[in-house]
A and B are shown apart, each in its own frame.
Chain A
Amino acid sequence: MAEQAHAPAESLALREQFNTPEQQKESSTFGMWVFLITEVMFFGGMFLAYTVYRNTYPVVFAMASTSLTAWIGALNTGVLLCSSFTMVMAVRAAQLGRRIALIWFLVLTLFLGLVFLGVKAYEWNQKFVEHHIPGAHFYFEGAAEQGPAQLFFSLYFAMTGLHALHMVVGAGILSWLLYHAVRGRFTAEYMTPVDIAGLYWHFVDIIWIFLFPLLYLIDRHMR
Chain B
Amino acid sequence: MNEHVDSVKTYTAVWLILLALTGITTGVAYIDLGAFSVVIALFIAAVKMLLVALFFMHMRHSTKLTQLAAAGAFLWLFIMMAFTLADVWTRGLVGTQGR
Number of A-B contacts (CB under 8 A): 135
CB–CB A52/B77 < 8 A: no
Q: Give CA–CA (A207, B70) in the complex, Å.
A: 14
Docked-complex contact B52 and A206, CB < 8 angstroms: yes
Instruction: Determine the main DSSP class of B at the interface with A.
Output: helix
Query: Which interface residue of B33, B42, B77, B80 has the most chain A CB atoms within 10 A?
Result: B77
Q: Which residue of A lies closest to B7 (CB)?
A: A92
* Of listed A47, A217, A221, residue having the most chain B CB within 10 A: A217
Contacting residues, chain B, for A47 (C-beta < 8 A): 77, 81
Asked if B94 CB lies within 8 Å of chain A CBs, one says no
A206's closest neighbor in chain B, by CB? B49
Q: CB < 8 Å: which of A25, A85, A210 contacts B45?
A: A210
Interface size on A, residues (CB 8 A): 53
Interface, chain B (partner A; CB < 8 A): 1-2, 5-6, 8, 11-12, 14-15, 18-19, 22-23, 25-26, 29-33, 37-38, 41-42, 44-45, 48-49, 52-53, 55-57, 62-63, 65-66, 69-70, 72-74, 76-77, 80-81, 84-85, 88-89
**Which A residues lie at the B interface, using CB under 8 A?**
25-26, 29-30, 33-34, 36-37, 40-41, 44-45, 47-48, 51-52, 55-56, 70-71, 74, 77-78, 81-82, 84-85, 87-89, 92, 95-96, 188-189, 195, 198-199, 202-203, 205-206, 209-210, 212-214, 217-222
- Closest 7 interchain pairs by CB? A217-B29, A213-B41, A220-B29, A85-B15, A40-B73, A37-B73, A221-B32
